[in-house]
Amino acid sequence: MTTSIPEQNKTEKDAPLRHDIHMLGDALGKAIQQHEGASVFETVEQLRRKCKRLRTCAETLRSASAAEAAQLQHEMAALDQEITHIVDSCDLDTTIDVIRAFTVYFHLVNTAEQHHRTRRYNYEALTASTPQRGSLAALVAFYQKNGIDASTLQQLLNQLSIDLVFTAHPTEATRRSLIIKSRQIATLLEEHDRREDMTPRQRAQWQRTLESTIALLWRTDAVRHVRPQILDEIKMGAYYLTEILFEALPELYAELEQLVHDAYPQEQLTIPPFLRFGTWIGGDQDGNPNVHAETLLEALRWQHAQVIEHYRSAIQALAQEYSQSLKLCSISQQLQDSLECDAALLPDYDRELGTQTAMEPYRRKLSFMWKRLETKDPSIAYNSPREILADLLLIQNSLLADGEQHVAQGQLAILIRQVQVFGFHFAALDVRQHSERHSSALAELLKITGLRQDDYSVLPEHERVNILTNLLSDPRVLPRHELTVSQETHHVLQTFDTIRQARAEFGEQAITCYIISMSRTVSDLLEVQFFCKEAGITNLPIVPLFETIDDLRSCTNTLESAFHQPNYRRWLTSCDNQQQVMLGYSDSSKDGGILTSSWELYLAQTRLAALGARHGIGITIFHGRGGAIGRGGGPIYEAILGQPPHTVNGRIRITEQGEMLSFKYGLHAIALRNMELVVAGVAQSSIPGDILLPTLTHINTPSAWLETMQCLSTKAYARYRQLIYDTPEFLRFFEQATPILELDWLNIGSRPARRAAGHNIEELRAIPWVFSWMQSRYVLPSWYGVGAALEEYIAEDPDQSARLAQLQNMYHSWPFFHAFLDNLQMTLSKADPHIAHHYSLLVSDEALRQRISTAITAEYERTQRMLLQIVGGAALLDTSPVLQRSIRLRNPYVDPLSYFQVALLRRLRAIGGPLVLDETTQQTATGQERERANLTYAVLLTINGIAAGLRNTG
């Protein structure tokens, strides 16, 4: 494949990126021609050129005169027919190869863009006169500018608690094999940037390596033919921990330590281990029958084995390095005593080490540590990370006392930080279950023990609370081991038993909380507390997850009632008077639309912060954000700064989902940048306003703005609900105009697409909901209803210019509203009515198609028009030219995949829908079944390709 690159000044900042894309595209073109022939390559080039011309015409049309517009529209119609004809004329084998060509191209472009982000960041860090926005350097400079003294800074650092949590929503459509090869290509691009240092022979070898890697990428299947098992997902999540974050996270801490030391050279400031990683993978039981109690242990044991192996490798490397001889150094008495204890503990290994090591105390100590990490004997092995951390600090203190500061602060300091952060569990595991599962299990236990003859699960809330109060006040436990219970209840009981076992085996930090999906009432929290009591679990944070609009509105009342419950209040005391509250971005957006969801999340956080202050309880907000805007995605630094005042307070948990893992953590430098954006945002948002300089003191949001947002939310909610939930035939339109019914065959995760067997939008999970709209280029969940709300709000006032001016002022002066509208610009830029129209033609009922597609298109145009009036500019993202250019350059390459997907969906559905054949059924399949299977494979390829091109799935 080729890309046209106009002449440009070589000093232009994006010139290296364009060069990289051109170089990678050429290598891909060679691979295609070598393995598939010239006809496939030419078809790819034809489609690329025509789709690019179609896009150019569409952009020119915006500012064309009437005569020019007519001519452009005629040309666009002709191009559209030509593209459709090429697509329809391809046989299935050619279709698959062409789809693969565009898909692989996007993997290469994504890799090049990520590498360029690193390149630009490094360049700007070296040449810019001021630190880059969102960097740790900018954060420390902000502290100094605002006169924050060392004591205040230490207090701020001590209160920080940041968890980035990998969820069990693996919407990453890209196979791990492709991710690994993309990383290899990124490494080659790094080497290419240093090509001036290569000899001609090395350059030739580099070129051969690049072309062979891309050829392997071309011949690697992009589609998973088997649905991932839980262990597969655990390993995929752990890939980023083992390959990237184990090294990157300590580097982040080291940079912050150095910056703070340089800024406060006379002070002894310490950086606590405030940033950690968590995971739901292996612990999220909500709606996933494949996750059970044993899965929790499987996940933790696998992660434990991985992190121990990393520690052993690091200790082995240190042992090889630390060759100090007792003839030339001295050690502390504490270290000498420790060596004697180790020798007594491991006499055989002590003899194996020999006399030479006896004169090399640091090497000898590290060797003992390496051996203790290997053994399974509990009398010898380290039983907690605190024990190995104590030994590492013993070595460090001895080195410092002997004047070896540089040695003590080198790799040893990195390993100390790794043990502090990763412990023996690597990533803390959260456990999640639906609230109804607890209620049903308790109802069965009460009935079979004879405590209640009626059905607890249907009792009024006040009766449930009374029952739970009595159960929690009774020190006795139910004789459940003598009872025969249903499989569902056994599952719940066994899960809590396993949590207790896991915390005993790996430490309390191995499982950090228990999340209750669809929390609505106080009894939801008390039920989990009851099961913890029965299992003998103490001080485990119980985290309600509020997901719908109604739940967000009532969450404060729910927690207020819980805080007045003596039993629950005692539980909070055991959790250091800290309450985590998880807020669902995905489901609230699906329930009420993006504007109402964003606003209700803002209000809920404000009320929760006030609630915590009244009761003397620290509230940590757990943000259930997804990668797509419709699920709370967007630039993280801006999102954190846009949180309501006084709601962060140094403590935050944020989910990292799906395709965002490879985007944010696929490369070392990108992972560092993402983490520092989070740290900088949280640390900056947590500085109390009264200690800032007067010119920078936080102002309260004007009440008029709050009233305006409430008004807009009400209007957007009504418009959104009217289409999605109040239009009886909308579900039929959605299922025919998007690939929602085909998504489940993609094998991107072990969890079903629906919470239950019901066939309605309510039961559909937010991930496939957003994913399917993204595929069809409607991107509807991320913007629908906003335009109508803005237009109606302005039109209600006779002085419309005043209301428009107010919205413009809100955009420029209120971080929350600014971030919301900027995210809206991005999603509208990825939406495409022209392509979406082709998907609408898949709807069999013409009247239904016309009615709904017309409403959607009108709202898209209305939203775009209103947005531009507020943010300014002639086109979307004029305020973000880099992002604007990236989307515009990608669109002509995504479009052919959309044309193919529509054509393939039409053919596949006409002969019975998706079908996947295994090796056994392949042999006995009929001709039509084989055709269905091949068409299914081709559709899945387009889904992968479009996801890679738009950089969003769900």
Q: Helix, strand, or coil here: 514?
A: strand
261 close to 254: Cβ distance less than 8 angstroms: no
What gap in Å lies between CA 368 and CA 360, rounded to an integer?
12
What gap in Å lies between CA 656 and CA 633, rounded to an integer?
10
What is the β-pairing status of strands 651-656 and 618-624?
parallel
Going by C-alpha positions, the residue among 899, 877, 888, 881 that lies closest to residue 946 is 899
Which amino acid, residue 69? A
What gap in Å lies between CA 279 and CA 288, rounded to an integer?
16
The residue from 590, 664, 818, 830 that is catalytic is: 590
What gap in Å lies between CA 372 and CA 560, rounded to an integer?
49
SS (H, E, C) 320-349: HHCCCCCCCCCCCHHHHHHHHHHHHHCHHH
* First CA to last CA distance, the chain: 28
Task: Specify which residues 277 forms β-bridges with.
Answer: 164
What gap in Å lies between CA 713 and CA 552, rounded to an integer?
14
815 close to 684: Cβ distance less than 8 angstroms: no
Going by C-alpha positions, the residue among 135, 111, 255 that lies closest to residue 188 is 111
CA 954 vs. chain centroid, Å, equals 10
Residue 649, Cβ density class (10 Å: 0-12 exposed, 13-18 middle, ≥19 buried): buried
The residue from 50, 115, 116, 169 that is catalytic is: 169
Helix (H) or strand (E) segment spanning residue 619: strand 618-624
Going by C-alpha positions, the residue among 232, 230, 93 that lies closest to residue 175 is 232
**Cα within 13 Å of Cα(153), Cβ side:** 24
Kindly write down the DSSP assignment for every residue of 768-816, as one continuous string: HHHHHHHHTT--GGGTTTHHHHHHHHHHTSS-HHHHHHHHHHHHHH-HH
Q: Helix, strand, or coil here: 911?
A: coil
Q: Helix, strand, or coil here: 696?
A: helix
Going by C-alpha positions, the residue among 273, 275, 257 that lies closest to residue 265 is 257
Which amino acid, residue 885? R
507 close to 424: Cβ distance less than 8 angstroms: yes
| Number of CB atoms found within 10 A of residue 453's CB | 7
What gap in Å lies between CA 894 and CA 879, rounded to an integer?
24
What gap in Å lies between CA 630 and CA 223, rounded to an integer?
25
| Number of CB atoms found within 10 A of residue 703's CB | 8
What gap in Å lies between CA 831 and CA 886, rounded to an integer?
14
Residue 661: both structure tokens together: 């893992």
What gap in Å lies between CA 509 and CA 511, rounded to an integer?
5
Helix (H) or strand (E) segment spanning residue 533: helix 522-535
**Cα within 13 Å of Cα(747), Cβ side:** 19
Residue 649: both structure tokens together: 């307070």
Q: What length does the chain have?
A: 954
169 is an active site residue: yes
Residues 6 or more apart whose Cβ sits within 8 Å of residue 9: 15
What gap in Å lies between CA 723 and CA 726, rounded to an integer?
6
245 close to 671: Cβ distance less than 8 angstroms: yes
769 close to 730: Cβ distance less than 8 angstroms: no
Catalytic residue positions, numbered: 169, 590
